[in-house]
């Protein structure tokens, strides 16, 4: 590495918010199943604490040694619904066990209070889903997710209807804490099994017993590069600049994963090269889009710019590591992105535009605050629409909306930290009760027949 490259990286870290957003240890709990839920919980706690005992230390030591911030240290586990299928009992016992683990180990979040129901409910799934509001209200560090659809399976509309109600309940259970429960719950279509980002991380059953996954983040770096670019550059030249920058960012993630794997004695899983924004001014995906020539995010042309950004990030990142996985692309969480927050406050960015953007970004409708009076069926409709985009386009989509109980359009919720703050956005309240109450399953699209 040349001296100018070292100095360039230092500048990225000091001035442009470059960081490793998370190192996430994925842990399989399949060998912790037991007919007695209390025995199962003991096995879960023992295994997690044994394997992840040095996770926080390794992350902190890496930051000191290399000068690269590792912002979050997280854990993802096997979908807990699978353990409930064996043990029965109250699933919240598992949530409390995960919370104890998080507190003992000092990690920021632990994900995997999850169920995969894209094609129907198996034993344990319904019990876990119904327990999510209580589980998230009683814990600080536990995150939940439910996969309700996939390109291969179609969309489970019974689960979609259920999740609209569960999201609303999560907000109501935590209304005195800025409805935080709903911010820790993601509803997926085509959920990846190696995602290191919360709140949707879980450890898939096809994964190794224990792995280290890394999530890098550098929207501030990409924005800084584009801000210095000539305004007369063509779009393909802008794409090339983004690719080169993504390569440099991902190379750092590869280094972190390699070192963490060696220090912890577990296999290196993947690098998720997503651009994950923060509320810090400058560390924004929306500002990247505006540097391409938009007056503000939400203007016509926003979806096209985001599509190019997402593609260029992936093309640049895959050259820097052979271990690409997770979501990988550009995130557009409204409350976590300073530019998105500003655009939403001014009315330039509306839910309908965000939905169009999710067809080309790497996740979906993320961290969007909606009026507290929104009905469960309307929330289910949002989930169904987003799942349909993911299903038909063979991509991951997700919904993380927060009904602001007791608040209306123009009010704000402030979550603090990386979750940021967001205005209550106006959404259509037109009834869809009949459609949602039909239940059943939307069949898999033609794209599923690829064998």
Flag whether 416 is in a domain.
yes
Q: Write down how long the chain is.
A: 451
For residue 149, how far is the Cα from the chain centroid? 16
For residues 246 and 313, membership in a common domain is answered with yes
For residues 226 and 178, membership in a common domain is answered with no
Q: Which residues touch 428 (CB under 8 Å, ≥6 apart)?
A: 351, 378
pLDDT values of the chain reduced to their tens digit, one per residue, 451 residues: 555 555 566 555 554 557 788 899 999 999 999 999 999 999 999 999 999 999 999 999 988 888 888 888 999 999 999 999 999 999 999 999 999 999 999 999 999 999 999 999 999 999 999 999 999 999 999 999 999 999 999 999 999 999 999 999 999 999 999 999 999 999 999 999 999 999 899 999 999 999 999 988 878 888 888 988 888 999 999 999 999 888 888 888 888 888 999 999 999 999 888 888 877 767 789 999 999 999 999 999 999 999 999 999 999 888 888 788 888 888 888 888 889 888 998 889 999 999 999 999 888 899 999 999 999 999 999 999 999 999 999 999 999 999 999 998 989 888 877 788 889 999 999 999 999 999 999 999 988 887 7
For residues 172 and 318, membership in a common domain is answered with no
Flag whether 204 is in a domain.
no
Cβ–Cβ under 8 Å, residues 222 and 286: no
Domain that holds residue 58: 26-189
CATH number at residue 232: 3.20.70.20
For residues 157 and 297, membership in a common domain is answered with no
For residues 180 and 218, membership in a common domain is answered with no
Flag whether 174 is in a domain.
yes
For residues 254 and 182, membership in a common domain is answered with no
For residues 88 and 185, membership in a common domain is answered with yes
pTM more than 0.95: no
Burial of 378 (0-12, 13-18, 19+ CB in 10 A): buried
For residues 172 and 228, membership in a common domain is answered with no
Domain boundary, last residue among 189, 222, 245: 189
Flag whether 404 is in a domain.
yes
Flag whether 279 is in a domain.
yes
Cβ–Cβ under 8 Å, residues 352 and 298: no
| C-alpha–C-alpha distance, residues 196 and 21, integer Å | 9
Cβ–Cβ under 8 Å, residues 362 and 396: yes
For residues 80 and 152, membership in a common domain is answered with yes
Domain count along the chain:
2
| C-alpha–C-alpha distance, residues 60 and 72, integer Å | 10
Flag whether 4 is in a domain.
no
For residue 55, how far is the Cα from the chain centroid? 20
Q: Which residues touch 225 (CB under 8 Å, ≥6 apart)?
A: 241, 242, 245
Cβ–Cβ under 8 Å, residues 315 and 358: no
For residues 78 and 151, membership in a common domain is answered with yes
For residues 81 and 221, membership in a common domain is answered with no
Flag whether 14 is in a domain.
no
Report whether the peptide linkage leading into residue 199 is cis, meaning its omega lies within 30 degrees of zero.
yes
Flag whether 358 is in a domain.
yes
For residues 91 and 55, membership in a common domain is answered with yes
């Amino acid at each position: 590495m040349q001296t100018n490259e070292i100095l360039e990286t230092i500048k990225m870290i000091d001035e442009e918010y470059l960081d490793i957003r998370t190192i996430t240890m994925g842990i399989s709990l399949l060998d912790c199943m037991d007919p007695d839920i209390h025995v199962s919980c003991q096995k879960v706690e023992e295994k997690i604490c044994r394997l992840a005992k040095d996770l926080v230390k390794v992350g902190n030591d890496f930051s000191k040694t290399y000068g690269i911030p590792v912002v979050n240290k997280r854990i993802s586990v096997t979908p807990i619904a699978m353990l409930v299928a064996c043990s029965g009992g109250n699933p919240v016992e598992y949530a409390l066990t995960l919370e104890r683990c998080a507190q003992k180990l000092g990690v920021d979040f632990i994900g995997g209070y999850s169920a995969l129901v894209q094609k129907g409910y198996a034993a344990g799934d319904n019990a876990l889903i119904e327990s999510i509001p209580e589980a998230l209200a009683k814990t600080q560090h536990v995150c939940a997710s439910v996969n309700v659809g996939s390109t291969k399976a179609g969309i489970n509309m019974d689960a979609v209807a259920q999740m609209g109600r569960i999201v609303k309940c999560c907000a109501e259970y935590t209304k005195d804490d800025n409805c935080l429960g709903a911010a820790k719950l993601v509803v997926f279509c085509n959920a990846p099994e190696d995602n290191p980002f919360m709140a949707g991380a879980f450890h898939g059953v096809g994964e190794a017993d224990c792995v280290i996954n890394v999530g890098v983040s550098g929207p501030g770096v990409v924005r800084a590069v584009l801000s210095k670019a000539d305004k007369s550059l063509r779009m393909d030249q802008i794409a090339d600049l983004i690719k080169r920058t993504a390569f440099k960012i991902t190379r750092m993630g590869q280094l972190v994963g390699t070192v963490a794997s060696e220090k912890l004695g577990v296999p290196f899983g993947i690098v998720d090269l997503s651009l994950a924004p923060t509320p810090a001014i400058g560390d924004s995906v929306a500002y990247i889009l505006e540097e391409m020539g938009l007056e503000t995010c939400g203007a016509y042309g926003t979806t096209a710019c985001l599509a190019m950004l997402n593609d260029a990030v992936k093309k640049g990142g895959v050259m820097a590591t052979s271990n690409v996985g997770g979501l990988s692309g550009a995130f557009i969480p409204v409350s976590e992105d300073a530019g998105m927050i500003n655009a939403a406050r001014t009315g330039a960015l509306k839910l309908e535009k965000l939905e169009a953007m999710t067809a080309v970004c790497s996740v979906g409708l993320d961290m969007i605050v909606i009026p507290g009076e929104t009905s469960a069926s309307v929330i289910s409709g949002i989930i169904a629409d987003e799942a349909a985009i993911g299903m038909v386009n063979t991509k991951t989509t997700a919904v993380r909306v927060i009904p602001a109980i007791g608040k209306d359009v123009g009010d704000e919720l402030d979550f603090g930290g990386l979750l940021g703050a967001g205005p209550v956005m106006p959404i259509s309240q037109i009834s869809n009760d009949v459609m949602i109450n039909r239940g059943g399953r939307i069949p898999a699209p033609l794209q599923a027949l690829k064998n």
